[in-house]
């Protein structure tokens, strides 16, 4: 007696590694770079902030640095002071406004936010408008923060260090150790969380309790704001940006159960060669190049560790991504889906692209005729630049233990009498893709 093998049988190929990436030098020759960004919708240029007071333009098509700086401004660049951040107006295409954060030398040394007007690849001479002067600095030259970015609400956000004085972070009488939120003209939104309880420029405080928030990033397709706060003794932090939040410095560092403070989303101990969490960026480009498992992940870098990791915002898990970078300070996701890395140690910009290929099925399961009680084996062969693992399925359910390229049924039963049909080949969420696999039919 003969029987037909029953049940819908398919297989799934999974990458066992998330990252198969290529790191390529785009351009070098930058002096003490600290920050990288680009105007909204501009796919041709990166703007590199140099601490000594210049913003340089990197032409991505030619991989060359424009000879004339986009902006030159007088700064105090001792220690961690200097030209530290830049943000382009959301309406930059029409108003040409660009905002910078720098350490001004007069009338006393302090950090300042100014607006300039651009004309092509240069800033218009004499176009500076000072919109916000921060508190005067002490003799300490570290912990200045300096990152700028516009939120979806159209407000300008600024990350400010506590000037090496932890007490500043918990005080509402200065803007140091805080996240600030201001209007484009430097005025202060009346819905800021401490607007009614403070006066003057302190009404710009949006969150407090930070040590040295070196960078922060908004999710372009979500509501998240992640703040990278550089730690002191032990912990580096990624904090969830929340209006009115107090992140606890100097009373706490790292995770905390103190109800007065907002605990970090993620921390890591910098005792193993790491020293400072620096650049951060959400992967949400106009054109997705990396596999879908990376979309909306948060990429972040460590300055001394020289690595980049990913923080999965859906599962709150962290994975390695790239290593061997020379003191990375900032990250930028391009509209083309590439990840750009600003490496201070090399004075260079690198581009990271995903290069893993989809698996190619070189041999499909073949149709077979077998007697009832006899064995049957289905086989599939595939190749990929990343390691593969297999999972056979029947009736849309995983078959326990069936994780090899060959699957054997030791004894075919009389109820096994349906076709193994052509089904889609899907990859895991770590490297999703689509393909086709042919099933076999017994009979």
Write down the pLDDT at residue 430.
33
Cβ density class 319-336: b for 16+ within 10 Å, e for less: eebbeebebbbbbbbbee
Task: Give the CA-trace dihedral at 414, 418, 419, 425, to 10 degrees.
Answer: -110
Segments making up each domain of the chain, as ranges: 2-15+358-437, 21-354
Q: How many Cα atoms are found within 13 Å in the side-chain-facing hemisphere of 45?
A: 17
Write down the pLDDT at residue 401.
85
For residues 262 and 248, the answer to whether their CB atoms sit within 8 Å is: yes
- Residues 159, 179: Cα–Cα separation, whole Å: 5
Instruction: Look at phi and psi of residue 268 and say left if phi exceeds 0, alpha if psi is from -120 to 50, else beta.
Output: beta
3-state helix, strand, coil in the chain (%, to 5): 5, 40, 55
pLDDT tens digits for the chain (443 residues)? 333 444 445 555 554 444 478 899 999 999 999 999 999 999 999 999 999 999 999 999 999 999 999 999 999 999 999 999 999 999 999 999 999 999 999 999 999 999 999 999 999 999 999 999 999 999 999 999 999 999 999 999 999 999 999 999 999 999 999 999 999 999 999 999 999 999 999 999 999 999 999 999 999 998 999 999 999 989 999 999 999 999 999 999 999 999 999 999 999 999 889 999 999 999 999 999 998 889 999 999 999 999 999 999 989 999 999 999 999 999 999 999 999 999 999 999 999 998 766 666 778 787 777 788 888 888 888 776 566 777 887 766 788 888 888 888 888 776 655 433 333 333 332 333 222 233 333 34
Name the DSSP class of 246: B
- Residues 21, 355: Cα–Cα separation, whole Å: 5
The yes or no reply on domain 21-354 and CATH 2.120.10.30 is: yes
φ, ψ for residue 189 (rounded to 5)? Answer: -60, 135
State the pTM of this model: 0.80
Write down the pLDDT at residue 356.
62
Instruction: Look at phi and psi of residue 337 and say left if phi exceeds 0, alpha if psi is from -120 to 50, else beta.
Output: left
For residues 241 and 216, the answer to whether their CB atoms sit within 8 Å is: yes
């Amino acid at each position: 007696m003969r029987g037909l093998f029953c049940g819908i049988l398919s297989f799934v190929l999974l990458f066992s590694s998330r990252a198969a990436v290529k790191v390529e030098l785009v351009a070098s020759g930058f002096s003490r770079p600290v920050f990288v960004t680009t105007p909204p919708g501009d796919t041709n240029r990166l703007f590199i902030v140099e601490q000594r007071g210049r913003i340089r333009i990197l032409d991505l098509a030619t991989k060359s640095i424009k000879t004339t700086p986009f902006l030159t401004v007088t700064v105090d660049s001792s220690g961690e002071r200097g030209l530290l951040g830049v943000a382009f107006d959301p309406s930059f295409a029409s108003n040409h406004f660009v905002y910078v954060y720098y350490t001004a030398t007069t009338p006393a040394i302090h950090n300042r936010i100014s607006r300039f007007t651009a004309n092509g690849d240069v800033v218009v001479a004499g176009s500076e408008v000072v919109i916000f002067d921060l508190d005067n600095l002490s003799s300490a030259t570290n912990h200045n923060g300096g990152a700028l970015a516009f939120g979806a609400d159209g407000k300008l956000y600024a990350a400010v260090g506590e000037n090496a004085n932890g007490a500043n972070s918990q005080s509402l009488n200065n803007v140091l150790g805080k996240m600030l939120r201001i209007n484009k003209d430097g005025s202060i939104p009346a819905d800021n969380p401490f607007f009614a309880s403070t006066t003057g420029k302190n009404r710009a405080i949006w969150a407090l309790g930070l040590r040295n928030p070196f960078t922060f990033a908004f999710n372009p397709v979500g509501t998240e704001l992640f703040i990278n706060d550089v730690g002191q003794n032990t912990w580096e932090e990624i904090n969830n940006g929340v209006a009115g939040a107090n992140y606890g410095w100097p009373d706490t560092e790292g995770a905390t159960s103190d109800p007065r403070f907002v605990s970090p989303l993620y921390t890591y101990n910098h005792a193993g060669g790491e020293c400072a969490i620096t650049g951060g960026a959400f992967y949400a480009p106009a054109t997705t190049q990396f596999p879908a498992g990376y979309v909306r992940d948060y990429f972040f870098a460590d300055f001394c560790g020289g690595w980049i990791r990913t923080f999965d915002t859906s599962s709150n898990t962290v994975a390695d991504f790239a290593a061997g970078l020379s003191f990375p300070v900032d990250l930028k996701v391009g509209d083309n889906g590439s990840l750009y890395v600003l490496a201070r140690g090399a004075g260079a910009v690198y581009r990271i692209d995903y290069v893993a290929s989809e698996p190619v099925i070189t041999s499909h399961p073949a149709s077979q005729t077998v007697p009832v009680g006899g064995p049957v084996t289905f086989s599939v062969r595939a190749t990929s630049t990343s390691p593969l693992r297999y999972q056979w399925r029947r009736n849309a359910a995983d078959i326990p233990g069936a994780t090899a390229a060959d699957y054997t049924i030791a004894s075919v039963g009389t109820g096994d009498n349906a076709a193994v049909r052509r089904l889609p080949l899907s990859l895991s969420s770590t490297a999703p893709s689509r393909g086709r696999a042919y099933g076999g039919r017994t009979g």
